[in-house]
Amino acid sequence: MTPPAQPLASAAAESIIRDLQASLPGGRVVTDPDVARSLSRDQAAGAPVGEPAAVVRARSTDEVRRTVEICLRHRVPVVPRGAGTGLSGGANAIDGCVVLSLAAMSDILVINPLERLAVVQPGVINDDLRAAVAVHGLWYPPDPASSPWSTLGGNVATNAGGVCCVKYGVTREYVLELKVVTGSAEVVRIGHRTAKGVAGYDLVSLLVGSEGTLGIVTEITVRLRSLPGASTTVAGFFPSLVTAGTAVREVGAAGITPSALELMDRFCLRAVDDWKQMGLTAAGDVLLLARVDDPEPTGSALAEAIVEIFRASGASWAERSTDADEADALFAARRLAYPALERLGPVITEDVCVPREHVPRMLTRIEALAAKHGVQIANIAHAGDGNLHPLIIGPPGDDADSWRRIDAAFDGILDAALSLGGTITGEHGVGLLKRGGLVHELSPTVMGLHRAIKAALDPAGILNPGKIFE
Ligand SMILES: Cc1cc2nc3c(=O)[nH]c(=O)nc-3n(C[C@H](O)[C@H](O)[C@H](O)COP(=O)(O)OP(=O)(O)OC[C@H]3O[C@@H](n4cnc5c(N)ncnc54)[C@H](O)[C@@H]3O)c2cc1C
């Protein structure tokens, strides 16, 4: 039997809980310690997690505003949260904070086919929006591999990327307007719903990717496109990471922009096979999956060109898929890679992005770092973007020596990406895990600009403090 959970409340916590309960409708304030703790962290292994005073499950912008107002009065941190699928510790509780869950604000408010836009609450799940707009022949492209679970609010706050972003761009390119509660508990609308609009500074772009540190997003207007037509998938198996990386570089060098170009290495293929028995490992060591959605006859010509590039780069096997179910299964395997690896132990996720020409060199360096520090590093990648996810598999227990080696490999990967002209995070955000890397990427002057912007939007410093930078 597990022992009963200890209550969260200290005297300070009791006082803020009283004020929140007095101001919000019944049931909004969660004080049950087990439930509160289950809503106090994201999926980043190795990131510290604090003990919240309470969790608020808001249902409207006004409830968010009132929550922020009370936290401001008490000078208590507010940690916003969507689905908690983040991989950088961004939604992790800070001791004594209020975790503000937006998950229950999950209505799609408007779908406007004429203006090609949708207005949603932040708790709408990415796949639910995609399904709802598809009925109108419309498409919301940003498709993180977490699209069945992650929320639009979390996607906006992290500027999420995904599989088709190599051709269609990331979340920032689709956000037109936001309703935001600032750190001063004011409700503001920023951006525009028109097709064009340049009135004032581009505050929408500033808020997108701000990881809950500049404002709480309570409504999102997104741009939509027409649903794409049929697509062709090309699969290639390679004997090594470096040959697959060369193929990625050569696809870019040929001026081809596929609508997906994904990589899975042998560790991922094996983990998915062990779980789902898909027979992937029998075919080769590293899988590259490309998708082309240009209209015919261009689509077929580009798919054929990619097959040729894969072969010329050293693929042991490369073909166009003639079976749509088989192609879907391969992309499903790519989406399963992360949960499959999690079955082996804690997964410490990197998210570096390098110029495409350096993908082969970066992959070589990752292999060298794994050997140097004696750690297992699996690789999945939105390879066409140069966005690599080296995944360091941690030990099941608390072995201090293993964790020291993992830390060294983690820092080595960030340094390698920066030395190749890359960035420490392509899409997951800085959160808690990459704060050390950020100070190597940004100059002291730019860090100062960050602090000045934070002070303007959140003068009391209550919005997700300690995330992105101290
Ligand atoms: C299996 C798996 C695959 C993934 N694949 C991808 C991928 O392909 N591409 C990618 O980009 N990411 C990916 N991720 C990471 C993660 O899904 C994204 O970062 C996603 O955008 C997080 O959404 P969420 O709703 O879970 O947000 P959370 O994890 O709850 O929060 C993320 C951050 O946003 C802030 N936040 C949340 N909601 C709001 C709001 N309404 N207002 C202000 N701040 C807010 C939080 O404070 C936190 O800093 C993956 C994760 C998993 C587990």
pLDDT at 2: 37
Pocket around ligand 1: residues whose beta carbon is below 6 Å from it?
A: 42-43, 79-87, 90-91, 102, 122, 144-146, 150-151, 153-155, 157-158, 160-162, 211-212, 216-217, 338-339, 427-428, 464, 467
Pocket test for ligand 1, best of 67, 127, 146 (most atoms within 8 A of CB): 146
DSSP symbol at 146:
T
pLDDT (mean) for 178-197: 96
> Which residues pair with residue 288 across a beta bridge?
236, 263
Query: Which helix (H) or strand (E) covers residue 138, if one does?
Result: strand 138-139
pLDDT at 4 over 60: no
Span 312-331, average pLDDT: 92
pLDDT at 249 exceeding the cut of 80: yes
Q: Is the peptide bond before 297 cis (omega within 30 degrees of 0)?
A: yes
Each residue of 341-359: pLDDT tens digit? 999 999 999 999 999 999 9
- Spatial neighbors of 34 by CB under 8 A, at least 6 apart, are 5
Cα–chain center distance at 88:
9
State pLDDT tens for residues 54-64. Answer: 999 999 999 99
CB 250 within 8 A of CB 364: no
Q: With a cut of 90, say whether residue 112 has pLDDT above it.
A: yes
Q: Comparing C-alpha atoms, which of 331, 82, 90, 327 is closest to residue 211? A: 90
The per-residue pLDDT for 168 is 97
Which phi-psi region, left, alpha or beta, contains residue 169 (left: φ > 0; alpha: ψ -120 to 50)? Answer: left
Residue 10, both tokens: 């200290």
Q: What is the pLDDT of residue 48?
A: 94
What mean pLDDT is predicted for residues 384-388? 96
CA–CA distance, 376 with 392 (Å, rounded to integer):
6
The pLDDT confidence band at residue 8, using thresholds 50, 70 and 90, is low
Strand intervals (E) in 321-437? 347-349, 376-382, 387-393
SS3 263: strand
Look at residue 175 and give its three-state secondary structure.
strand
Judged by phi (left if over 0) then psi (alpha if -120 to 50, else beta), residue 279 lies in left
pLDDT at res. 282: 82
Strands, DSSP E only, in 224-373? 225-226, 232-238, 260-264, 286-292, 317-320, 347-349
The amino acid at 109? L
Band (pLDDT 50/70/90 cuts) for residue 9 is low
pLDDT of 98 reads 97
Predicted confidence (pLDDT) per residue in 68-101, tens digit: 999 999 999 999 999 999 999 999 999 999 999 9
Residue 60: alpha-carbon gap to chain centroid: 25
Q: How far apart are CA 99 and CA 96, in angstroms?
A: 9
Per DSSP, the three-state class of 289 is: strand
Q: Which residue's CA is the closest to the ligand 1 atom numbered 53?
A: 85
Return the pLDDT at 3: 42
Name every residue whose Cβ is closer than 8 Å to that of residue 28 and which is 6 or more positions away in sequence: 20, 56, 57, 58, 59, 63
Which ligand 1 atom lies nearest to the CA of residue 155? 21
Probe ligand 1: pick from 100, 428, 430, max atoms within 8 Å of CB? Answer: 428
Query: Regarding predicted confidence, which is higher, 421 or 280?
Result: 421
Centroid of ligand 1 to alpha carbon of 405 (angstroms): 27
DSSP state of 394: P
User: What is the arithmetic mean of pLDDT over 103-120?
Assistant: 98
State which ligand 1 atom lies nearest to the alpha carbon of 160: 11
Q: Is the pLDDT of residue 6 over 80?
A: no
pLDDT, position 1: 36
Give the pLDDT score at 7: 47
How confident is the prediction for the chain on average, in pLDDT? 94
The pLDDT of 456-470, averaged and rounded, is: 96
* pTM for the full predicted model: 0.95
Q: Which pLDDT does position 157 carry in this prediction?
A: 98
Residue nearest to atom 28 of ligand 1 (CA): 84
Cα(230)–Cα(249) distance, integer angstroms: 25
**Number of Cβ atoms within 10 Å of the Cβ of 376:** 16
Residue with tokens 């030395």: 419
pLDDT digits (tens, 9 = 90+) for 13-34: 899 999 999 999 999 999 898 9
For the chain, what is the radius of gyration of the CA atoms? 23
User: Is the pLDDT confidence value at 460 over 70?
Assistant: yes
> What distances in angstroms separate CA 81 from CA 55, 104, 154, 217, 438, one per listed residue?
10, 11, 7, 10, 22
Structure confidence by residue, pLDDT tens digits, 407-417 = 999 999 999 99
pLDDT at 242 over 50: yes
**Residue bearing tokens 């706050």:** 157
CB 379 within 8 A of CB 391: yes
| CA–CA–CA angle 148, 153, 154 (5° rounding) | 65
